[in-house]
């Protein structure tokens, strides 16, 4: 799936109930964009992809319960376990100038606040405490939490993230 054409909104963890709802582990952006669209892209665990109509969604704690067209029973819902749901970015209104989608940070350069180049953002993970950026640094991967204590600025036009480098952060295994 093209990380820039489609915005991931979460992963299906299992079916829910008898009518075919699926339980979604949502991304940070899911709640913000689900009301904007009625079609999602399902990336199946076998690599296949399917467009499906989004019929409804609702919250259940930190998860979402989603009803997709053509998924009418528990076994059909369970068959989607592990699939990723995504939305075509062309169907969304553009984010305002001071907001962004986490996937947009892929490929950004990371530099320190004193100008030293660290590397390129190669992955973004959503952890319970905060999103974490994976940066390629001297042949290995370094994790940088996307929090104000570390990230001091993001310049979207230049595709640069500036961080305040705490002593020893890059030396951690």
15 lies in the same domain as 84: yes
pLDDT at site 67: 96
How many domains is the chain built from?
A: 2
77 and 129 fall within a common domain:
no
Whether residues 15 and 36 fall in one domain:
yes
86 and 128 both lie in a single domain: no
Instruction: Name the residue range of residue 107's domain.
Output: 102-171
63 or 92: whose pLDDT is higher? 63
Domain ends where: 65, 91, 117? 91
Q: 111 or 102: whose pLDDT is higher?
A: 111
Determine, yes or no, domain membership for 29: yes
Task: Please report, to the nearest 10 degrees, the dihedral formed by the alpha carbons of residues 153, 155, 161, 164 taken in order.
Answer: -20
For residues 142 and 156, give the distance between their C-alpha atoms in angstroms, rounded to a whole number: 21
Considering the domain architecture, whether residues 151 and 79 belong to the same structural domain is answered as no
Mean pLDDT, residues 31-42 taken together: 86
Q: Tell me, yes or no, whether 124 and 75 share the same domain.
A: no
Look at residue 173 and tell me whether its pLDDT is greater than 80. no
Q: In the block, which residue shows the tokens 């299906």?
A: 12
pLDDT average, residue stretch 160-166: 89
pTM of the model: 0.67
């Amino acid at each position: 799936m093209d990380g820039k054409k489609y915005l991931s909104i979460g992963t299906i963890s299992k079916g829910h109930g008898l009518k075919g709802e699926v339980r979604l582990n949502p991304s940070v952006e899911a709640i913000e964009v689900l009301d904007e669209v009625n079609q999602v892209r399902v990336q199946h665990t076998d690599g296949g992809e399917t467009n499906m109509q989004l019929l409804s969604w609702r919250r259940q704690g930190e998860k979402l319960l989603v009803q997709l067209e053509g998924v009418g029973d528990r076994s059909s819902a369970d068959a989607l376990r592990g699939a990723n749901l995504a939305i075509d970015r062309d169907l969304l209104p553009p984010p305002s100038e001071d907001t962004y989608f986490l996937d947009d940070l892929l490929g950004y350069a990371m530099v320190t606040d004193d100008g030293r180049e660290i590397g390129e953002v190669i992955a973004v993970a959503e952890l319970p405490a905060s999103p974490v950026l994976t940066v390629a640094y001297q042949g290995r991967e370094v994790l940088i939490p996307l929090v104000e204590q570390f990230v001091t600025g993001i310049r979207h036009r230049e595709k640069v993230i500036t961080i305040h480098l705490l002593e020893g952060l890059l030396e951690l295994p």
